[in-house]
Amino acid sequence: MDASPPARRPKVVIVGAGFGGLTAAVKLAKAEVDVTVIDRHNYHCFQPLLYQVATAELSPADIAWPIRHVLRRQKNARVLLGTVQAIDLENRKVVADTVTLDFDELVLATGATHSYFGNDEWEKSAPGLKRIEDATIIRRRLLMAFERAELSDDPAERERLLTFAIVGAGPTGVELAGAIIEVARQVMPSEFRRIDLRTARVILIEAGPRVLPAFPESLSDYTRRSLEDMGVEVMTDTRVTKVDETGVDLEHGRLDAATVIWAAGVVASGAGRWIGAESDRAGRVIVEPNLSVPGRPNVFVIGDTAAVKRPDGSPVPGIAPAAKQMGAYVADVIASRAREAVPPPPFRYVHQGDVATIGRRAAVITLPYVNLKGMIAWLFWCVAHIYFLIGTRNRIAVAFKWVWDFMTFQRGARLITDQRDQI
Q: Is 192 in the site for a copy of itself (CB under 8 A)?
A: yes
Specify the residue, 91 or 417, whose C-beta has the smaller distance to a copy of itself: 417
Show the site string, 384-423: x = touches a copy of itself by CB under 8 A, - = not: ---------xx-xx--xx--xx--x-x-xxxxxxxx----
User: Which of 9, 11, 29, 61: binder of a copy of itself (CB under 8 A)?
Assistant: 61
- Residue with Cβ nearer a copy of itself (110 or 223): 110
- In the complex, least distance from residue 208 CB atom to a copy of itself, rounded to whole angstroms: 34
Site track 76-95 with a copy of itself (rule: CB under 8 A), x = hit:
--xxxxx-------------
Q: Measured from the CB atom, is 70 or 87 closer to a copy of itself?
A: 70
Pick from 19, 43, 122, 274 the residue near a copy of itself by CB under 8 A: 43
**What string marks each residue from 195 to 234 as x (binds a copy of itself by CB under 8 A) or -?**
----------------------------------------
Q: CA–CA separation, 287 vs 303, rounded Å?
A: 11
Contact flag: residue 29 with a copy of itself (CB under 8 A): no
- DSSP sequence for 167-232: E--SHHHHHHHHHHHHIIIIISGGG-SS--GGG-EEEEE-SSSSSSTTS-HHHHHHHHHHHHHHTP
Q: At what angle do helices 392-408 and 375-388 cross, to 10 degrees?
A: 150
Contact of 47 with 352, CB cutoff 8 Å: no
Nearer to a copy of itself, 186 or 236 (CB): 186
Residue 64 in the binding site for a copy of itself (CB under 8 A): yes
Stretch that binds a copy of itself, among 68-76, 158-166, 169-177, 200-208 (CB under 8 A): 68-76
Helix (H) or strand (E) holding 379: helix 375-388
Instruction: Enumerate the H helices of 9-102 as residue ranges.
Output: 19-27, 50-54, 67-70
Closest CB 322 distance from a copy of itself, rounded Å:
26
Smallest separation, CB 174 to a copy of itself (Å): 25
Q: Which residues contact 99 (CB under 8 A, 6 or more apart)?
A: 38, 80, 82
How far is 96 from 9, CA to CA, in rounded Å?
22
Q: Which residues contact 30 (CB under 8 A, 6 or more apart)?
A: 335
Dihedrals phi, psi of 303, to nearest 5 degrees? 70, -150
Q: Would you count residue 100 as binding a copy of itself (CB under 8 A)?
A: no
Smallest separation, CB 142 to a copy of itself (Å): 12
Which C-beta is closer to a copy of itself: that of 73 or that of 281? 73
- Give the interface segment with a copy of itself, choosing from 2-10, 188-196, 244-252, 300-308 (CB under 8 A): 188-196
Q: What is the Cα–Cα distance from 38 to 16, expressed in whole angstroms?
A: 6
* 3-state helix vs strand vs coil in the chain, percent to 5: 35, 25, 40
**Residue 151 near a copy of itself by CB under 8 A:** yes
**Residue 136 binds a copy of itself, judged by CB under 8 A:** yes
Among 29, 66, 239, 374, binds a copy of itself (CB under 8 A): 66
Amino acid identity of residue 209, one-letter, is P
366's enclosing H/E stretch is strand 362-366
Catalytic residues: 175
Closest CA to 344 of 358, 357, 330: 330
Task: Give the nearer residue to a copy of itself in terms of CB position, either 194 or 242.
Answer: 194
What count of residues does the chain have? 423
| Pick 117 or 400: Cβ nearer a copy of itself | 400
Of the candidate residues 11, 60, 213, 246, the single one contacting a copy of itself (CB under 8 A) = 60
For residue 60, the minimal CB distance to a copy of itself (Å) is 6
Alpha carbon distance 391, 44 (integer Å): 11
Q: Which of 37, 188, 227, 372 binds a copy of itself (CB under 8 A)?
A: 188
Put the strands of the sheet holding 233-235 in their side by side order.
233-235, 201-205, 163-167, 259-262
Question: CA-CA distances (angstroms) from residue 407 to 175, 375, 376, 400?
Answer: 20, 15, 17, 11
Report the interface residues with a copy of itself, using CB under 8 A.
Answer: 40-43, 59-62, 64, 66, 68-69, 71-73, 78-82, 98-99, 132-133, 136, 143-144, 147-148, 150-151, 188, 190-194, 393-394, 396-397, 400-401, 404-405, 408, 410, 412-419
